[in-house]
Amino acid sequence: MIDFDIARAWHKIFALHIEFVIDGIEKTSLDPRVVRDDAACNLGKWIFGSGARYARRPEYADLVESHIRFHYAASAILEEHLAGRAGNQSSSFRAASDAVLASIDALASTMIKAPRPAGRETAAGRKNDEDQPAWQESMRIGMKLIDEQHEELLSWIGKLNDAPTAAITSKSFVDSISAVKKLETLHFETEEIFMQRLGLPHEQVQEHVNAHGELLKELVQVELDAGNGIRKTAAEVHRGIKDHVLSHIARHDMPLSRHIANPH
């Protein structure tokens, strides 16, 4: 279901940019006429690109319509903001944004396969639930989108260990590691934008960005190892990635909560 996870992330990042402009955090000007184009953003390109393979489903048509409505709402709130009438369109904008997410979820739900029957997994291949990267409420930093992305990312990292004894060359593992890398890339984009908007010192931002680079480098190396036929199991790789990500959240992300509570 990575298609839909990425689609959600694209939409949330775009909506975040609009909110930053309205709240006076984002100084970059956005042209309402450009924003009105629903085919120009990343989600729009997906809808009319690879996502068009779902075009025969009625939920796809609903997504197209709700996405168009969102872009008109985004354009309207920007026009209000530029005219000095901030807040008049806020509720409509947020409702339109939520409607897009609901449409993505509705389309995604039509693609969910039946659950795998219980009892078909051997003891050797069974996941150790205690070894899964579990989202904890204590990890929240107070920025809704980042917290949501952390939770989603940890969920996908957990899927790397769905078949612990499987080789990293297996299709299911290769697909999962690709999904984790895509989600991490989008998450890092969100965090880096957010840190800049907080006005954090350049050195602190750069250290955080470098840490992001190390995490991505690790995922790229796993993909290279799989491509080269390196003999590693899913459990081995999962453990290393899980520990690295949890360490990153604790060391680099959670301290951001202080700046959120006391913005510059």
Count of C-beta atoms within a 10 Å radius of residue 154:
20
Structural domain includes residue 120:
no
Task: Give the bridge partners for 167, in sequence order.
Answer: 233
| pTM of the entire predicted model | 0.67
* Same domain for 148 and 217: yes
Task: Quickly count helices (H) and strands (E) in the chain.
Answer: 10, 0
Structural domain includes residue 123:
no
* Same domain for 14 and 98: yes
Task: Residue 209: give its domain's CATH number.
Answer: 1.20.120.50
Q: Count of domains in the chain? A: 2
pLDDT tens string 63-78: 999 999 999 999 999 8
**Model confidence band, residue 197 (pLDDT cutoffs 50, 70, 90):** confident
- Phi and psi torsions of 87, nearest 5°: 100, -20
pLDDT tens string 4-57: 888 888 898 888 888 878 877 666 677 889 999 999 998 999 999 988 999 999
* Same domain for 91 and 154: no
Structural domain includes residue 211:
yes
Cβ(238)–Cβ(160) under 8 Å? yes
Structural domain includes residue 116:
no
Which stretches does DSSP call E strand in 29-76?
none
Could you say which of 109, 144, 164 is where a domain stops?
109
CA distance 245 to 251: 10
pLDDT tens string 137-179: 888 888 888 888 888 888 888 888 888 999 999 988 888 888 8
Range of the domain at 248: 135-261
Structural domain includes residue 115:
no
CA distance 84 to 76: 12
Which pair of tokens denotes residue 256?
A: 């951001």
* Same domain for 88 and 37: yes
**Model confidence band, residue 133 (pLDDT cutoffs 50, 70, 90):** very low
